[in-house]
Structure 1
Amino acid sequence: MSKSITTKELAQKVINHEETLILDVRNTDEFDNWKIEGGKVEVINEPYFNLLDGVGPVAEKLNNDQEIIVVCAKGGSSEMVADLMVEAGFTNVYNLEGGMKAWSEHLEPVKVGDLNGGGALYQFVRLGKGCLSYFIESNGEAAIIDTARMLEPYEQFAKAKGVEIKHLIDTHLHADHISGGRHLAEKVGGTYHLPPKDATEVTFEYTPLEEGNDITVGNTTVKVKPIYSPGHTIGSTSFIIDDQYLLTGDILFVKSIGRPDLAGLAEDWVGDLRNTLYRRYKELSEDLIVLPAHYSFAEELGKGGEVSARLGDLYQNNSGLQVEDENVFRKMVTENLPPQPNDYQDIRQTNMGKMDPELERQKEMETGPNRCAVEG
C-alpha cells in the first residue's frame, strides 16, 4: 500500500524549496490549466487512464527509490495509481490527500516581520491559488486583509496567538476568489471594511475604507493607512502598515501588474491603473516592502515562502513599471490579458452579497489558477 501526504506537509516542502516530484494523473487539459508549482517542484503529467494497465508509461522516467507524490482532482484516482506504483516496486510513493481540490484550499501562514511597538505581520499563502492574505496582530487584537473563503485557519491562528479578530478588510471587490471577510466579521463580531467605490451594489452593511482614516490595531503605533489606488477596480485601496509595508492588493505584484478588465471596464480604468503605478506609488518611500494580494509565478515565492519585494527594486525590475509611453502601456494592459478567472462574474456577485451558492459550488467557482495579472 502507498502512503499519504497532507496538503500541509506538501506546502512545507514547497515553501522550503525542497526538491519535490509530482506525478499528476489528471487529464492533460486540466493539468495544462492548473498545476502544483514551486521553485524546486518538478511535475510529470500522465493521465490516469494511461496507467490502468500498469505504470509502464511513467516507470522509465522515475527511479524506484525516489520520493514521488501522486496527485489527482480529489485524491481517489491518485491513490489507486500510487498503489499500482508500489506493486511495481516503487518504494517511496505518496498520495496527496484530497487532491487538487484540497490543495486549492490550503492556507500556509508565513511570518513577514515584527511591527513597531510589538506585534507582527503574517502572510497567509494560498499556494494552490496564488492568493495572499495578511494577518496583523498587536496587543491582543488582529486585523485580516483580503481574507480567503476558508475561515478556520485564521480562527485557529488567532486562538493560538491569543488575539481577538477586530477588523476584516478587503482591498477591493475580488473577482477571482470568494472573500471570507464579511462572514468572518459576522462570526467574530468584528468590523468589515470595503472601499465604497467598489461597494455601490453590495447588499450588506460595511464600514467604508477612506483615505486618511487609519485603522488602529492594538497598540497605536500599528496603523493601517488606506491609500486610494484605483486601476484593478475603481475602488482599489492600498495600505501602508507601520511605515514599513505597502499592501498593494491586485494593483502591483512582484513580477507583474494588475489587470483592469474584470468588471468589463479595461478601457476606462487603464488610466487609473497607470496613475496609481506611475505617480501615486512613486511618491511613496522606495524602502517600503510591497506585499501583494496575489502571485503568479513560482519564482515569486521567496525564502520561507514569503512573496514580497522592495518598492524601489520593483521600479527597476518589474517590466510593468518600465513603459514610459502611455499608449504602449494602454495597449499592454488591454491586449496582454490571460483568460478571465473561472466564474468571475458569479464570484463578483457572491462578494456583493447578491448570490449565496452552496459550499460545493463555491469550491467549484474558485477552481483554477490566479489570473489577476497582466501577462508581460
Structure 2
Amino acid sequence: MVTATMKAMTSEQLTKKLLKNEELFILDVRNTSEYDNWRIEGGKIDIINIPYFDLLDGVDPALDKIPNGKDILVVCAKEGSSKFVAEQLVEAGRTNIYYLEGGMKAWSEYLEPVKVGDLKNGGELYQFVRIGKGCLSYMVISGKDAAVIDAVRMTDVFEQFAKEHGVQIKHTLDTHLHADHISGGRRLAEKMNAKYWLPPKDATEVTFPYEPLEDGDVITVGNTEIRMKALYSPGHTVGSTSFLVDDQYLLTGDILFVASIGRPDLAGKAEDWVSDLRKTLYQTYKNLSEDLIVLPAHFGQVTELGEGGKVSARLGDLYRSNPGLNIQDDQEFRVMVTEHLPPQPNAYQEIRQTNMGKMTPNEEEQREMELGPNRCAVHDK
C-alpha cells in the first residue's frame, strides 16, 4: 500500500532534527497568507509554499521544486491535507516522504524541556521551549518541591515532568498578564493544590483569587531554600515582574529578550508605559550584576536557541549586543518602541480576556486563538 511508505513525523522528532541542525526539506501546503504569517524555520531547513488547492489535480507542479536524497516533510494546518499530498508524492515515485503529525497546531503546542543548570546548595532549573510558538516556561526544583513560572496551557507537560522527577509543584507564577498565549498557571495551581502568584497591578480586572506578587517578595522552594526574589520591572505591562533565582538567573518575562526588548502596546497604553520600559531596562536591570544569566519568557527567532535548545544570555553581554539596550536618546527610544512595531499577536485581546477569567473558550477555540508567532518583542517580524 502507498501509505506503508509514507511516515508520520511528530513535533518532537522535528524539534530534534532542528536542534541537531539536520537537513530537512519542507513543503508547506497551507494558504499563502498563513504561510507568510508563520512557518517552520531554522537550522538547515529549506521550505517552500505551494497551497493545497494548487495540488488537488496532482503534484506535478511541485516535483521539480522538491530535491531528491533529502527527507521531505509535508506540512498543513491540522494534518489531513499534508497526508493527501504526501501520498501523491509517494505515488509519483518519491522516497523519504513524511507528513507532520497533527500539523501546525501540534507544532505550536510541543514543549521541549531543557536543563538550564544546577542551583547552589542543590536544586535544578529547567526551561520548557515551546519551539513552534516561541514561548518559554520554567521549573525550579529543590528537594521535593517545585515552582513553575509562566506556564503555558498544556499543563500536563509540567505535571508529568514533576512526577518523573519525584517533586510536588507548590507554586505557579506569571511574570505578567500574558497577551500572546493562554496562561496555564492558574489551572496548574488548581490541579496541584498550589499557590498561584500574579502581579496585582496586572490583576485589577481578574475574576479569580490569586496570591499578590509584590516587589521584593521572596518565595522559597524546597528544603534547600532556593530563593526566588520578585523584582518589579514594568514596561511591557504595568505589573511586569522579573525574578532573581538563586542569585544566578534573571527571569525577565517579556521585558528583555536575547535579541530584542518587550513591546509596550498590547494593552493599548504604549505612550503611558514607554518611560517605565526605559527605566526598567536602563536603570533597574543596569544596577544588577552583569554576570546574571537572562532567561526570557519568549524568543523571536530560532537563531536565539543555543546549546541543546536553551535560550539564555549573560546580562552584561546583552548590554553590548542587544539593540534595544543601546539607545541613549529618550526620543529615539520612544519612537522605536511605539512606531513601526510588528503586527500584534493573533487574538491578543481575547487572550488577555481569557487570562483575566472573563472568557472561557474551549480547547479548540484556545488552539485557534494561539496560532501564529508570539510577537511580544519590538524587533519581531
**What range is the shorter-chain TM-score in?**
over 0.9
Which of 362, 366, 372 in structure 1 is aligned with 2:376? 372
* CA apart distance, 1:53: 2.4
Contact preservation (8 Å) 1:116, 1:221 = no
- Whole-Å Cα distance in 2 between the matches of residues 267 and 3 of structure 1? 51
- The equivalent of 2:36 in structure 1 is 32
- The equivalent of 2:16 in structure 1 is 12
Contact preservation (8 Å) 1:226, 1:240 = yes
- 1:87-137: CA deviations, max 9, x gaps? 111110111110001111111111111111112111101111100000111
- The equivalent of 1:72 in structure 2 is 76
- Whole-Å Cα distance in 2 between the matches of residues 356 and 62 of structure 1? 43
- The equivalent of 2:277 in structure 1 is 273
Which of 238, 249, 262 in structure 2 is aligned with 1:258? 262
- The equivalent of 1:171 in structure 2 is 175
Aligned length: 376
* CA apart distance, 1:176: 0.6
- Whole-Å Cα distance in 2 between the matches of residues 123 and 113 of structure 1? 10
Contact preservation (8 Å) 2:23, 2:70 = no
Contact preservation (8 Å) 1:124, 1:133 = yes
1:145 maps to a residue whose letter is: I
- The equivalent of 1:211 in structure 2 is 215
* CA apart distance, 1:13: 1.4
Which of 112, 119, 128 in structure 2 is aligned with 1:115? 119
2:244 maps to a residue whose letter is: I
- The equivalent of 1:158 in structure 2 is 162
1:269 maps to a residue whose letter is: W
Which of 201, 208, 215 in structure 1 is aligned with 2:205? 201
Q: Secondary structure at the match of 1:80?
A: helix
- The equivalent of 1:96 in structure 2 is 100
* CA apart distance, 1:51: 1.8
* CA apart distance, 1:194: 0.3
Matched, 1:56 2:57: no
- The equivalent of 1:296 in structure 2 is 300
Matched, 1:125 2:129: yes
Q: Equivalent residues in 2 for 1:317-356 (5 A)?
A: 317-356=321-360
- Whole-Å Cα distance in 2 between the matches of residues 177 and 218 of structure 1? 29
1:40 maps to a residue whose letter is: K
* CA apart distance, 1:38: 2.0
TM-score (norm 2): 0.97
* CA apart distance, 1:171: 0.1
* CA apart distance, 1:228: 0.2
Percentage of matched positions with identical amino acids: 68
Greater displacement, 299-308 / 226-235: 299-308
Contact preservation (8 Å) 2:199, 2:240 = yes
Q: Secondary structure at the match of 2:295?
A: strand
Structure 2: where are the runs of 5+ without partners?
A: none
- The equivalent of 1:148 in structure 2 is 152
- 1:50-98: CA deviations, max 9, x gaps? 2222222221222333101110000000001111111111110111110
Q: What stretches of structure 1 move > 4 A for 4+ residues in a row?
A: none
* CA apart distance, 1:19: 2.2
- Whole-Å Cα distance in 1 between the matches of residues 362 and 339 of structure 2? 35
- The equivalent of 1:182 in structure 2 is 186
Greater displacement, 83-92 / 44-53: 44-53
- 1:121-175: CA deviations, max 9, x gaps? 1110111110000011110111000000111111111111111000000000000
- 1:232-281: CA deviations, max 9, x gaps? 00000000111111100000001100000111000000000000000000
- The equivalent of 2:46 in structure 1 is 42
- Whole-Å Cα distance in 1 between the matches of residues 279 and 25 of structure 2? 43
Residue 64 to residue 40, structure 1, CA distance change in 2 (3 Å): closer
Q: Secondary structure at the match of 1:316?
A: helix
- The equivalent of 2:286 in structure 1 is 282
- Whole-Å Cα distance in 2 between the matches of residues 373 and 83 of structure 1? 39
Contact preservation (8 Å) 1:143, 1:217 = yes
- Whole-Å Cα distance in 1 between the matches of residues 44 and 142 of structure 2? 35
Structure 1: where are the runs of 5+ without partners?
A: none
1:258 maps to a residue whose letter is: G
- Whole-Å Cα distance in 2 between the matches of residues 344 and 375 of structure 1? 18
Contact preservation (8 Å) 2:127, 2:136 = yes
- Whole-Å Cα distance in 2 between the matches of residues 254 and 283 of structure 1? 18
* CA apart distance, 1:39: 2.6
2:98 maps to a residue whose letter is: Y
Greater displacement, 71-80 / 46-55: 46-55
* CA apart distance, 1:183: 0.7
- Whole-Å Cα distance in 2 between the matches of residues 15 and 341 of structure 1? 25
Q: Secondary structure at the match of 2:158?
A: helix
